[in-house]
Every structure is written in C-alpha cells, then in structure tokens.
Amino acid sequence: MLKHLLNWFRLRRLEHDLGRELKYHIDRRIDDFTQMGLSESEARRQATLEIGGVTQIREDVRDVWLTRWVRDFVYDVRFSVRSFLRAPLFTITAVLSFALGIGATTAIYSLVDQVVLHALPVHQPERLVLIDWKGVTASVNAFGTYNLLSYPLCRDLQHQRQSFDGVFCRAATTISLSTGGDHVPTAAEVVSGTYFSVLGIQPTLGRLLTNDDDGAPGASPVVVLSYGFWKTQFNSASDVVGRKVLVNRHPMTIVGVAAAGFSGIDVGEVPSLWIPAAMSADAFPGFDQMLNRRVRWMQVFARLRPDVTLAEAQAGLQPWFKAMLAEDEQRPEFPKITPDRRQRYLASALELTPAAQGHSPLRRKMSQPLWVLFGATGVLLALACLNVAGLFLARGSARGREIFTRLALGASRGRIGRQLLSDSILVAIGGGLLGILLAPVVMGALIAFLPQGTAANALQSTLNPRLLLFAILVSVGAGVLSGVAPALQASRRSLIASLTERAGSASGSLRLRRAIVTAQIAVTAILVVGAALFVRTLTTLVAKGPGFATSNLISFTVDPVRNGYSRADADRLIRDIHDEIRAVPSIQSAAIATNPLLLGGSWNTQMTIQANQRISTDREVHINAVSPEFFTTLGVKMVAGRDFVERDTLPASEGGLCVAIVNETFAKRYFDGRSPLGAHVGLGSGPDVNAAVEIVGVASNISYRGVREESEQAYFPLVSCATSGGTFYVRTRGSREPAIQSIRAIVHQADPTLPLSPIRTLDEQVSRSLTTERMLAALSTGFGALALLLSLVGLYGVVSFTVAQRTREIGVRMALGATRLATLWLVLRDALVMTTVGIAIALLSIRALGRVIESQLYEVTPTDPPTIAIATVLLCSATLMAALIPARRASAVNPADALRLE
C-alpha cells in the first residue's frame, strides 16, 4: 500500500522508463522481422501486432504500480478538483459549512478530551483505581473535596498486596511559598512516599519522594518540584537540588524535579510541588491529625496487580476491611455512638472505581455541560453534512447531462457514485483543514469561559496529534455521510429515462432534498429551543441574583495560619484588621465569614432540632460562622428575630450566649410555618447530639455555594479566640477604589508578609459562579444561530430550485388567470409544509432529549410552552423569509416569457 502511494509520486519517471523499455523491445522485433525479409513498415506492423497494443500494456503495468483503486481515486480527485474550481461559490459554501461544523466539534472535543477522557501520562494508567469508603458519614471529620480517607487507612491498604501492586494517597492544597523572595500562594499536592513509584514517574533531576519520606510527622522536610515550576521559577537551574524553600514559613529542601509532562493527577489543579504527607502539619497549618484514623482528608489510589480484576480486588479487600472495622471499634478513642450508627459503621465497605484519568473536582463539575455541548456540536456537524448533501444533490441535477453522458459512454454506476463520494470527501477534508485552523480560536474562547486560575492554566488551546486524528476522522466521516445520498441517487438513475427527460426535472432528487431540508429544520428547531432554554436559565438566575445587593460590595480573604500564626495570634490579627477597616470613612460596614460565599464550597452537616419534639434534619444543612453585622453588611433582611450582636461572640464561659440564625428555607422545611425562634439546635444527628443552641433569628435566603442553590442554611456567631481566618465582606461608600487602597494599606501594616487574596467585587463573583450557565447559554445561542443559517441556506436552495423548475407551469397558471398571490402561496406552501413537519419532529425529539439537559436548567422545563412557542415563531418567520425571495421571483414571472422557455 505504502509502496503504491510512493509510486504515485514517481509516476512520471516510471512512465518514462516503461516507454523506453517497450520501445527497445519493439525496435528489436522490427530488426528481427526486417532480417527475416519483411519491409520496414511491414516489420513495424508485425511487431506492434505481436505485442498487442502498447497502450493496453501501459495500462496493465500502471495497475501493477498503483493498484486499480488508487489509480481510480487519483483520477477522481483530479477530476473533483477541476470541477470545484469551475464552481467556486458552491465550493466555498460547502467548505465553510464543513469548517464551521468540524471546527466547533474539534474545539469542544478537545475540552472533553482534556477534562474528561484524558488518561494520566503515567505508566499503565488503566490499572489505577480510586478507593472509596461507602456507607459511612458518621463519626468522622473530613476536609477536602470528595472520596476522602484517612492517612492511616492508606498505610493499612499498602499491605494489601494480594490486590494491589501499590497504594498512594494525596490531598490538594494551596501553600504560601517563598523561593527566596515574596510569599506567593502556590498549588501543591501533599502525597504519600509511594506516590511517584506507584504512578511510575521518573525524576528529571535528583530524586523523587520514596517510602523513607513516609516517616514520623515532621521527619522529612523535603519537596519535589514539578518540571513546569522548575523551568519557570528556577530557569531550569541544574543546581536546584539542595536549595531551601519556605512552605508556609517552614524551611524545606528541594530533593528533585519530576519528569516533564507530569502535572499531578487533577486536570483542574496543577501542583507546583509535592510535599510528603509526613509534613502535613506544615502544609495545612495547625493540622496535627495526620495519624488520626477518624480524620479523612486524602484521596487514596491503588495500582491493581496485573492478574487481578477490579471486582476481584474489591472482593479481596472486604474480609480484611471488616476485621479492621471491628478492631477499630474496640479502640479506646473510638467515639461513643448509638447502636444504629454502630451497625451502619460495621456494614460500610470499600469501593474501587477505575481512575485512569485521576481525580478532579473540575471534571465532576464540567463533564455534564461539556457532553451536552459536544452533543450540540455533533448535531451542528450533522446539519453541515445535510447542507452539503443538499448542495451536492442540487449540483447533481445540474450536472445530470454530464453524468448521463458518462454513463452512456460506459462508465459503471459504481464508478460514478464513487466519483461523487470522492467529491464530498474532498470538500470535507478542505473544510476539516479550515476547521482545524479555526479550532484553537474557539478553544481559547471556551477556556476563557472557565473560572480563571484553576482551569485556565491547566487547559490548553493547542492542537495535539490526538485532536488532529479526531478532526481528520470526523472530516472523512462527514464527507462519506454527506456524499452517500447524492452518490446513491446518481447511481440509481435509469439511463434511458434520464436521457429522455428534459433538463433539470429530476423529481426523485427533489423529494430527497425536501426530506433533507425538513431534517435540517428539525435539527435547527432542537438547537434553537435548547438555546432558548439555556438563555432563560441564565437570565432567570441573573435576575434572581444571590439574594443580596452586590453593588459596592467587595470581599477578600486572609489566612494568617498559613503564614505561621498560632490560632490565638491569628484571631487577634483578624480582629485588628476588622476594627481598622470599619474605621475607614469610605467603608460603610464590614463583616467576616469563615466560609466564602459563591465559590462552590460549603460546610455542611446534618443537624438536630429540639422544639416541641426532637428531630434530625433529613438533609445536610449548609453552615457558616459569621461576625455581627454580616447580614447588615450584605443587606440581607431579617425576617424574624434579631441579627448577631457583639455579646454573641463571647465564649460561653464569659457569658456569651449559644445562638444561631437560620434561613427562611430552613424555617419552612422544619417548622412548617411556625416560628423557629426559641427552638434549639445542635450539629450532627443522632441521640448523642446536644441540641443547646437557641435560634434567635430568621434571615431571608441568600446564595451560599452558588446562585442556583436554595438550601437550608444555619449561621453561628464567629466566636472570639477561634477565628483563625476568614473572608471579609466590605460594603463601600461610593467608589470602591479608595476603600481597596485603604484595605491593602491596613493589611500590609498589620503584617507585610501576609499574602492578601485579590480583592474582588461581589458582582464579579456572582458572574463567576454562573460561568457554566453563561457558557451554555452563549455557545448554544451561537450554535442555534449557525444552525438556523445553515438550514435557511438549504431551504432557499430547494425553493429556488423548485421555482426554476416550475417556471413553465407557473407561466401556464398565470396565463390561465392565477393571481400573483395564488402563485406566491403555491411556492410558500411548500416551505411551510417542510417547516411544520420539521418542527413537529423536533418537538417529539425534545420530549425525549429533555432529560439530558434538565439538570442544567433552572426554573424552566425542557418542554416549557412559552420557550417552544417563541422558538417556533422565530423559526417559522425565518424560513418564510428565506422562501419569500424565490417566491416573489415566481410571482413576477411573465407568462409569455415562461411559455417561451425551452
């Protein structure tokens, strides 16, 4: 095959040599014959006769060089290129249709690939599994994202050699890092010593972490740099090993640099360095629970043994795990729990899931929207294919005579069909190449939609070989799909019938084109309705807002514990900063919350409520600790009761009260219209919870994790002496610039080395928390508009074609007294039928497809009548406009001219 293709490139040379070879043969034969006594011309005749036709031999030899189909293909392509150059408008329309479809599909696929599909660049990623503990929420403390286990459990799992070749654990964190100068917030991964060896990563420089680094807490103050960080921050210095860096102010030694191309196991959070779990007290300031079995903070991964399946490994773990649970329960420090909870604890089990792609909160959040968008681009591509198929059919009718002539001259039907197929594949590849040029631009725009910081630096908008392969496969696939219908059509035609037909009246192809346009309108209707739904979701959410006035509201976070402060010092610092900020004239008020709003995270737990009777909440309640004036600063109305006051912040020992504020949703769900004031609550569920905190107020609802959410919330006062860090919310007077200047000055004066998070407006934060919704709305609108454009082009083409074909008929009708309006109607009716049928198909499909996007919508169902009505009206008016142009042309036909045609 390869050699055949190679031959194609040196065809000229081969032909030349063959010519010489044959000439030599014939000349020698001529000599033979003349020697036998024949005349020169007779000898030549004999020699030629004997060899049986030089042209035939050359053809046969060429078949040897190229094989039949390569040759035919080469001829087809040449022929296609020539005919495309003759019809530039057709070619441009077809290529652009494909370029849009393929460009968009490739761009979205690249994100799907990077976020969802891409396996880690490690040794045999398909054998990695994530170990999760199912069925237990009680008696544990957890911090981090998902699938958390404790460090001692990870160490236990490392002994399960019958299932695993190795086990490692990791936790993501942000540390304050100094490589000599400023302290900069830097992403890091806290990992067990087995991390690199289990993943199979090699060092670029020095050594990586090993089992020896899994020693006692604090015993191994070393770090490994990522290749990227070493390159950018240390200019790839070869003597970096042995240098010291400050991690949250603790000196640690660089022992090595990891391999290039490896950037951790979370696609959304790229660590700059790795810190051994033994140093977790330094990486997570104030955290001394590394060896506590009941504190879960790490994800645990294992590499399956080659001879063990996932199910076998999971089953193999259970006996040991049950024994471990039973043993754990006997430990003196095991919390006292109710028999019911004890039962649940003992029944819990470990679960393994494939983890070739690592672990990523970004993937959790983005994979569904990305698949929805990928589906939409697939539909768009299908539309582009239909459009090109329609164009080819039109061209097929116009080229009817040429095709019939070729058939009459003896070309096989298969050969003609293949010619048309090669036409469409060529157009698709042209479109694909253009699409590949477009794709990085679209990708850049897409990545800009994602939250800055995390995803933006991890995702790339460049093309890789995988992506190119994808684009090429899609192009060829699209070419084949769009070429099949016209090719079949052409090869099915009856030769005799075609030749006796008048030019341009191929009714079969028209029927097919009508079907194609109907399908296009159906697909467009689906995309337009989808776009309308996403736009409504976004506008509803924007109109709803977070439940508080965001103008003139700014926020920033300080976390002094990461800078080496003790909890008491941190509390003092934060209170000082708070007091000074409130004294600034350009600031109206300021408050602190331990957990930031609108960043997707929350502190949540079940609660126990003691009113007339004692109940546990059936869902987790979202909890925050806030300073007095939090609600005032945010402008949240108190529906009942009172806000927190200074006295609430005193510890109970100093006369402080144990009080809480709940939100309206909480009051509605658990108090059923009665007043919750005076009722008591406690954190956690079960009989051993002490419900002693009194509810003193009910606040109107505000958004906590995101704008979409309407959860039950409870607020506790920020107790003094325990405030180790938090997010400040500051309401400014007038312009915010002077306030921001003052805040920077105050924080800098309090401690010049304290890193200050960027000061953000709440407007910006609300908008950031809606990125997914905005991305879906913007992209689906773009896709809908493109789809509409493509199908209008298709519809216009078909209607124009019909009009051109029926000119004679229209002329006769008008001569017999038909009015212009009747003629107009004659043409429009056609378009209206296609539109109506298309929309009907779309509505049925939307019912079926609705479930896929339901979770991405807000307060609107996929079959929302007003949305569908608007989309339908839009679509109908657009198609009528497209049909009106050729229809007017029809009604302007002069009967005399029309009858004289042909």
Partner 1 sequence: MPSARFPIPQGTLDMLILQILTLGPAHGYGIAQRLNQISKSVIQLNQGSLYPALHRLEHKKWLKGEWRQSETGRDAKFYSLTPAGRKQLATEKNEWARLAGAVQVIFDEGT
Binding site for partner 1 (CB under 8 A): 3, 17-18, 20-22, 24-25, 27-29, 50-53, 56-57, 60-61, 63-65
Contact at 8 Å (CB) between 776 and 377? no
Residue whose CB is less far from partner 1, 67 or 137: 67
Q: What is the dihedral of CA 373, 377, 383, 385, to 10 degrees?
A: -160
Within 13 Å of residue 27, how many CA atoms lie on the same side as its CB?
6
Q: Is 124 left (phi over 0), alpha (psi -120 to 50) or beta?
A: left
As measured in angstroms, the least distance from the Cβ of 7 to partner 1 is: 8
* CA 381/CA 699 separation, integer angstroms: 50
The minimum distance between CB 36 and partner 1, in angstroms, equals 14
CA pair distance 17, 11, nearest whole angstrom: 10
Chain-centre distance for alpha carbon 773: 13
CA distance 159 to 166: 9
Q: Which amino acid is at 840?
A: A
Q: Minimum distance between the CB of residue 28 and partner 1, rounded to whole angstroms?
A: 4
The Cα 399–Cα 393 span in angstroms is 10
> Smaller CB distance to partner 1: residue 1 or 409?
1
CB of 39 to partner 1, least distance (A): 21
CB 206 within 8 A of CB 184: no
Of 44 and 705, CB closest to partner 1: 44
DSSP state of 181: S
Report the nearest approach of partner 1 to the CB of residue 44 (Å): 15
Q: In angstroms, rounded to a whole number, what is the distance separating the alpha carbons of residues 358 and 301?
A: 9
Taking the least distance from each CB to partner 1, the nearer of 53 and 758 is: 53
Rg (C-alpha) for the chain, rounded Å, is 37
Q: How far is the CB of 51 from partner 1 (least distance, A)?
A: 5
For partner 1, which is the closer residue by CB, 25 or 888?
Answer: 25
Nearer to partner 1, 14 or 87 (CB): 14
Minimum distance, C-beta of residue 15 to partner 1, in the bound complex (Å)? 12
- Quick one: 36 or 216, whose CB is closer to partner 1? 36
For residues 653 and 721, the answer to whether their CB atoms sit within 8 Å is: no
Q: How many angstroms separate the CA atoms of 199 and 855, rounded?
A: 35
Q: Report the nearest approach of partner 1 to the CB of residue 187 (Å).
A: 58
What gap in Å lies between CA 682 and CA 607, rounded to an integer? 6
Q: Closest separation between CB of residue 414 and partner 1, Å?
A: 24
Q: ∠ at Cα 280 (278, 282), nearest 5°?
A: 115
Q: Name the residue nearer to partner 1 (CB basis): 3 or 829.
A: 3
Min dist. Cβ of residue 4 to partner 1 (A): 9
Pick between residue 24 and residue 75 the one whose CB is nearest to partner 1. 24
Q: Tell me how far apart the alpha carbons of residues 26 and 523 are, in angstroms, rounded to a whole number.
A: 65
Which tokens belong to 216?
């006692």
Task: Report in angstroms how near the CB of residue 58 gets to partner 1 at its nearest.
Answer: 9
Cβ proximity to partner 1, 67 vs 606, nearer residue:
67
* Least Å from the CB of residue 409 to partner 1: 25
CA-to-CA dists, residue 364 to 116, 182, 209, 358, 885, angstroms: 9, 34, 29, 12, 49
Dmax (CA) of the chain: 137
For the CB of residue 49, give the shortest distance to partner 1 in the complex, in Å. Answer: 10
Helix (H) or strand (E) segment spanning residue 296: strand 295-296
- Helix or strand holding residue 128 (H, E): strand 128-134
Q: Which is nearer to partner 1, 59 or 579 (CB)?
A: 59
Q: Is residue 171 within 8 Å of residue 298, measured between CB atoms?
A: yes
CB of 18 to partner 1, least distance (A): 8
CB 334 within 8 A of CB 292: no
Pick 55 or 238: Cβ nearer partner 1: 55
Report in angstroms how near the CB of residue 14 gets to partner 1 at its nearest. Answer: 9
Q: List the helix and strand counts (H, then E) for the chain.
A: 28, 25
Q: Return the number of the residue (24 or 143) whose C-beta is nearest partner 1.
A: 24
Task: Identify the three-state secondary structure at position 341.
Answer: helix
Q: Which letter, b or e, does each residue of 365-393 get, where b requires 16 or more Cβ atoms within 10 Å of its Cβ?
A: bbeebbebbbebbbbbbbbbbbbbbbbbb
Beta-strand ranges (E) seen in 355-484 are none
Q: Looking at beta carbons only, is 55 or 235 nearer to partner 1?
A: 55
Task: Write the DSSP string, 56-72.
Answer: HHHHHHHHHHH-HHHHH
* Beta strand extents in 711-846 (DSSP E only): 713-717, 726-732, 760-761
Nearest distance, CB of residue 78 and partner 1, angstroms: 23
Q: Which lies closer to partner 1 via its Cβ, residue 34 or residue 720?
A: 34
Contacts of 597 (CB under 8 A, 6+ apart): 546, 555, 702, 703, 704, 727, 765
Give the CA distances from residue 746 to residues 326, 556, 573, 739, 751, in Å, rounded to whole numbers and listed in that order.
54, 13, 11, 10, 9
Nearest Cα neighbor of 276 from 169, 193, 166 is 193
The residue among 54 and 140 lying less far from partner 1, judged by its C-beta, is 54
Q: What is the C-alpha to C-alpha distance for residues 572 and 143, in angstroms, rounded to an integer?
A: 25
CB of 418 to partner 1, least distance (A): 24
